């Protein structure tokens, strides 16, 4: 069971955390919502819950709740630029289909 970050993603997260001035790491998760079943969650973490799984990769603490981990195991978090737009991308091997707009997905 593991979640990994690419080099650019890790750099970005570190910068964002430093700018924010607080927070222990990054939360990855899923929510059941959106037009195709699930949506990804990406949040700063101030408090780690006891049931959370904590991974460390490329110097960043990644926090995932056990329910989400089932859907996210093996995911690589990347940071990319598409034209003018830039942001984080979930490369999730379990993802079967995404809705047209790409905001939600099914496993």
Partner 1 sequence: MALIQIAEPGESTTAHQHKLAVGIGLGTTNSLVATVRSGVVNTLPNTDGQHLLASVVHYGENHIHVGSDALQYSVSDPLNTIVSVKRFMGRGIDEMATEGAHYSYEFINTDSAVPRIKTRAGNLSAIEISAQILKALKVRAVDTLGDEISGAVITVPAYFDDAQRQATKDAARLAGINVLRLLNEPTAAAVAYGLDTGKEGVIAVFDLGGGTFDVSILRLNKGVFEVLATGGDSSLGGDDFDYEIAKWIVSQAANSNADSPAIKRYLMQQARNAKEALAEQAAVEIKIDIEEFQWTGTLDRDTLKTLLTPLVKKTLLSCRRALRDAEVDKKDINEVVMVGGSTRTLLVREMVSDFFERELLTSIDPDKVVATGAALQADVLVGNKPDDEMLLLDVIPLSLGIETMGGLVEKVIHRNTAIPIAKAQDFTTYKDGQTAMAVHVLQGERELVSDSRSLARFELRGFPAQVAGAARIRVTFQVDADGLLIVSACEENSGVEASIDVKPSYGLSDTEIERMLRESMDHAEDDMHSRSLREQQVDADRVIEALDSALAADGEQLLSAQEKTEIMQARQGLLDVKTDSDKEKIERAIKQLETTCDTYVARRMNSNIKTAMQGHSIEEYATDKQSAAEET
Residues at the site binding partner 1, with contacts judged by CB under 8 A: 12-13, 16, 19-20, 26-27, 29, 31, 33-35, 39-47, 80, 82-90, 98, 101-105
- With respect to partner 1, which residue has the nearer C-beta, 37 or 73? 37
- With respect to partner 1, which residue has the nearer C-beta, 3 or 45? 45
Q: Residue 88: which of 18, 16, 19, 2 has the closest Cα?
A: 16
Residues 6+ apart with CB under 8 A from 40: 28, 29, 30, 31, 90, 105
Q: How far is the CB of 79 from partner 1 (least distance, A)?
A: 9
Q: Whole-angstrom Cα distance, residue 28 to residue 69?
A: 9
DSSP 93: T
- With respect to partner 1, which residue has the nearer C-beta, 7 or 86? 86
Residue-wise DSSP of 53-68: EEEEETTEEEEE-HHH
Q: How far is the CB of 15 from partner 1 (least distance, A)?
A: 8
Q: How far is the CB of 107 from partner 1 (least distance, A)?
A: 14
């Amino acid at each position: 069971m593991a979640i990994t970050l690419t080099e650019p993603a890790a750099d970005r997260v570190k910068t964002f955390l430093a700018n924010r001035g607080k927070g222990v790491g990054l939360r990855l998760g899923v929510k059941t919502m959106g037009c195709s079943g699930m949506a990804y969650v990406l949040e700063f973490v101030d408090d780690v819950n006891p049931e959370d799984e904590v991974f460390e990769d490329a110097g960043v603490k990644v926090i995932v709740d056990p329910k989400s981990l089932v859907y996210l195991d093996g995911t690589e978090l990347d940071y990319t630029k598409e034209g003018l737009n830039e942001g984080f991308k979930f490369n999730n091997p379990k993802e079967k289909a995404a809705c047209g707009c790409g905001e939600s997905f099914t496993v």
